[in-house]
Amino acid sequence: MERTTIAVVGGGPAGMVLALLLARAGVDVTVLEKHGDFLRDFRGDTVHASTLTLLDELGLGPSFAEVPHQIVEKAQLLTRDGVATMADLTRLPGPHKHIAFVPQWDFLDLLADAAKLEKSFTLRMNAEFTGLLRSRGRVTGVRYDSPDGPRELAADLVVAADGRGSLVRQEAGLPTHSFGVPMDVWWFRLPRHEGEPNAGTGRFAAGTAMVLIPRGDYFQCAFLIGKGADRRLRAQGVQAFRDRVGRLIPWLADRMATVESLDDVKLLDVKLDRLRRWHADGVLCIGDAAHAMSPIGGVGINLAVQDAVAAARVIAGPARRGRITPDVLAKVRRRRWFPTVVTQAAQRRIQDSFLRNTLTAEEGEVPDVLPRPLRVMQRFPWLQVVPAYVVGIGLRPEHAPDFARRAPSRIART
């Protein structure tokens, strides 16, 4: 049987950040990623201001700067009368007054390349988790399928970083509290022309809503639909979808033909939940495995990365000493509980007071009147820093522990 100190299931942002930090602490860590590469479309592509600061602390700022990315400084709402600013990131404190949009596979490749410089790091691709190993009521490792057949990996700790549909947390039997959501999201792409919005831009109308994320020569588009409406709307055909987008944002109508069929439109099954307890003896959940976030505000990746930094800070020392107890694991949840609960409460407030009514109404005209909070922000622009801080930095930003910090350098890409 193979052995490691920490087995991380899932090679997403949370898993890779945690593995990099632990490896720099000299802890043996193995990441199990079920795919053969990181190339998956319509994943979260946001690298927030606090994550950019973390990359600087890890010495990865120069390497990140070489990865093609787009900078977004504002979140705006399209109205019949023009554009209203919801969040102005240029007002943030610190060196990064923006959010960077970068293909997630490039971000993960950067983290993996940095981690591979550490002798205690191992990345296993095409390694799909199939079950937990147990001994005397304690989790002692994982089973996984590899190209060479079923394998077992013994570990002092298994970390679930396998997302909102986490099989690890399901296998561990950790109780989950789920909140209802009024929406799902259709992801697709549209060409972006020179001079068009270079900010995160949304438009809402009775029965429909859409967010445009600028990605160079195209928009990554999030079209909000009612929860469970995917099958019904697909049955209406691609032309009905093109027409709905064209009515909502008329200047996009002439390029909707680039959506050749609804096969070009991918469904995000939106969930909002969190574990009542993030750990059991020998297993810890972080990121979406611990708390699935709504796409409202695009904060899921930021919270996942901050969970990973907090977890590394808490468990690195005990891992080196071979004493990762349940009391140690409980400290991770205690540290991250406040930003998780408050952020989810804000998301629930937005969806229940605004989105639920919007998506269940009959489709019609875009309303002329902005919601009251947005009207106040237009009158007092300095208030736009509040949502910018919550989205761009977070309620409890985490900084790299001393053992993981490095001087700025360029990492050779593989």
**CA 157/CA 280 separation, integer angstroms:** 10
Of residues 3, 51, 53, 10, the one with CA closest to residue 28:
3
pTM, to two decimals? 0.93
Delimit the domains of the chain by residue range: 2-67+102-178+271-360, 69-98+183-226+228-269+363-395
Burial label, 347 (beta-carbon count in 10 A; 0-12, 13-18, 19+): buried
CATH, domain 2-67+102-178+271-360, list 3.40.50.620, 3.40.50.300, 3.30.230.70, 3.50.50.60? 3.50.50.60
For every one of its 414 residues, what pLDDT tens digit does the chain have, with 9 covering 90 and above?
899 999 999 999 999 999 999 999 999 999 999 998 887 655 668 899 999 999 999 999 999 999 988 899 999 888 776 788 889 999 999 999 999 988 888 999 999 999 999 999 999 999 999 999 999 999 999 999 999 999 999 999 999 999 999 999 999 999 999 998 999 999 999 999 988 888 788 888 777 889 998 888 899 999 999 899 999 999 999 999 999 999 889 999 999 999 999 999 999 999 999 999 999 999 999 999 999 999 888 899 999 999 999 999 999 999 999 999 999 999 999 999 999 999 999 999 888 877 777 776 666 554 545 677 788 888 899 999 999 999 999 999 999 999 999 999 888 776
Question: Which fold, 69-98+183-226+228-269+363-395?
Answer: D-Amino Acid Oxidase; Chain A, domain 2 (3.30.9)
Tokens (6 digits) for 79: 């109205």
Distances (CA, A) of 61 to 23, 54, 113, 298: 19, 9, 14, 22
Spatial strand order of the sheet with 74-79 comes to 82-88, 74-79, 200-205, 208-214, 218-226, 183-191, 266-268
